[in-house]
Structure 1
Amino acid sequence: MHCQPPDLRLVYNWLFNNQSCLLCGDRAEAALALCAPCTLELPWLRERCRRCALPMAIDGLLCGQCSRRRPAFRRVEVPLLYAYPVDGLVTRFKHQARWPIGRLLGELLGQWLQHRFSEDLVRPDCLMPVPLAPRRLRQRGFNQAALLARWLGAVLAIPCAEGTLLRPRETTAQQDLPARARRHNLRQAFRVAADAAVNGRHIALIDDVLTTGATAQAAARCLLDAGARQVDVYCLARTAKPRRY
């Protein structure tokens, strides 16, 4: 499915020409549609669990959940907390098909990852979007994770392996379920395409928001079982501590 808007100028004019800040309306002097003050005031995620990026009081420790049960993925790289105004921007991109907003968020994630690669983050062999089940893809018309993966692949010069990880089974929408039910909902939800070459590869899963980590866990476990060497997760935003039910 071709998920780009029919006129790419809708995206690129917003990003690279003279424009106003997406949040406050002032002139945005940088390439992004955000002014410098608004960029600084975004809810940047700082202290976090070193594996799942759950917000914590002290940086670099393991959260209780990762201490009790090691996730299938090696690490989560995420720049932002899922809070105002990022939550609204993600919603408008994901549920209202606002591609310029998605591209803006993708550029922020790309800049974050380039910074991390310049430090100590090992570059993956490929980027792999978390897939949508066929019915949900038809309803939404596009997969936001696939768009992010394509944009990131171009910015970071990393191949995008779209179509390798599949989601053939229809499942209940994750946001409609409590944390425990999310894990059960995703059992055997993913599979690797028969002709896919994942053996020995370092893969970075791409998604928009990490909440409980159930989707990332299920997808990473599927890839590791298929022979992947390592699975990381790159996403736009991370929620705070999951609610208890």
Structure 2
Amino acid sequence: MQNKKVEEVPRNLIEDMQTFLKFYEYGYHMLDSLVKRHLEGTDIIPQVTALGSNSWARGIFYFITTSDENAEAILRSDLIDKDSHQKLLDIRLKYRPVLNDILSLGGAVNRGEINPISSVRFSSKYERDDEISYLEITAYSGQREIFRIMQDASELLTCAESIVKTCSDSFEWCQRQGLPLRKLSIKRLDELQKELQNSSAQLSNIVQKYLTTRKQSEATTD
């Protein structure tokens, strides 16, 4: 029975635990910050969802919310240093009451599926020439829409935090799945990229990758 439990724990999640231990101080600070914000009444689900794309977060979130049997199986793994056992158990004891309900959305954590975003659609509206006026980003979990934001492109910076919290890893997902991304104004994206330099590095990265893809696509077409 014990061996069966060990086999049920995804090896990649145990490896993610190794990553967490490598960046322990940073990860612990992030967990503590999440819990404090939650206790202050802040909705932390979007941030937790975005963090799900990071290996250190996947590992520790799983360890905190999984069953006692699976937690024990992780600690028995030869991939986890025995000197770290008590440290991990203390974290599980401290954060489990707060994070368990939040993270276990439909059992997603226990299936190793932290990030519920399955696809993202970019669309835009033009009012003059080639310059984008509005940018709409919609995120889906399966067929269900879970997030939508439509913003004046010149004011995109004001909604940067919301986009990052929900769509941090979604651009790469779209590329891997071969999903079509609507054309955005190259001129406007260049401007946005400059505006975002002092803002969120994640959102800036998303815009930059999209911009690079569009330029490469147009160069190929030409």
Q: TM-score, normalised by structure 2?
A: 0.27
Q: TM-score, normalised by structure 1?
A: 0.25
Larger Rg: 2
